[in-house]
Amino acid sequence: MEFDCFIFDFDGTIAYTDRAYQAAYRYAIKLHTGKDIDDSVFSGSWGMNVTPEEVLLPHCGGGEISALLESFEEHYYENHHLMLSTYAGITEVLTELRNYRALVGIVSLKPRRAGERELAITGISSLIDASVWGDDVALRKPHPDGVHKLIASLRADASRAIVIGDSAADILMGRAAGVKTGAALWNGRESLREVDPDFEFRTPQEIISLLSQS
């Protein structure tokens, strides 16, 4: 097969986490500013490779961003298990990739503390061979550092690897690392096509077609 190393983003690609983030943002901003914020305020940040601190900063109202961030993290970690889920079909795809003895990894901006908990919550920890989280790298996406670290840890062949994600940063990261790229379009982010990924996947199941290519 052409590909035997599949590198996924997490938020928006493997797991639907928008509700957990939205609820935590609303909670922190309401607590510290008294303002009720509509979810649409945050919609522009999805798939944009931004940190919670960067999302909260415009709403800190002259107060300490650290206080908002602490409240955000408190709410997120206490409630994310109630609000996140994997996208339909993704668990089956990860299972099939493993059955083909392909290597499966994750490169995500999310902190390791959250990432590992969410792999456990979604029940896919055993399907992931290795992961690189935001606090594992000095330079975040679209810098290729995360891909390089993951490929090295897996002892994989970069020429047989593909990065699959839902943001432009994922595609640019893969390209900078010298690997093929795939756009995860199943969450509706059609604008991702503008950065010219090598492949487009409208459903997770379409990824399996790569296993039969030679």
pLDDT at 192: 87
> H helices of the chain, where?
18-33, 52-56, 65-83, 90-99, 112-122, 145-154, 168-177
pTM: 0.90
| β-bridge pairing 103-107 and 5-8 | parallel
In tens, the pLDDT along 119-147 reads: 999 999 999 999 999 999 999 899 999 99
What is the domain partition of the chain in residue ranges? Answer: 5-16+85-212, 18-83
Interval 159-186 mean pLDDT: 97
Contact 141, 110 (CB under 8 A): no
Contacts with 190 (C-beta within 8 Å, 6 or more apart), sequence order: none
Q: Is the pLDDT of residue 5 over 70?
A: yes
pLDDT at 214: 42
- Just give the CATH number of 5-16+85-212: 3.40.50.1000
Interval 73-101 mean pLDDT: 94
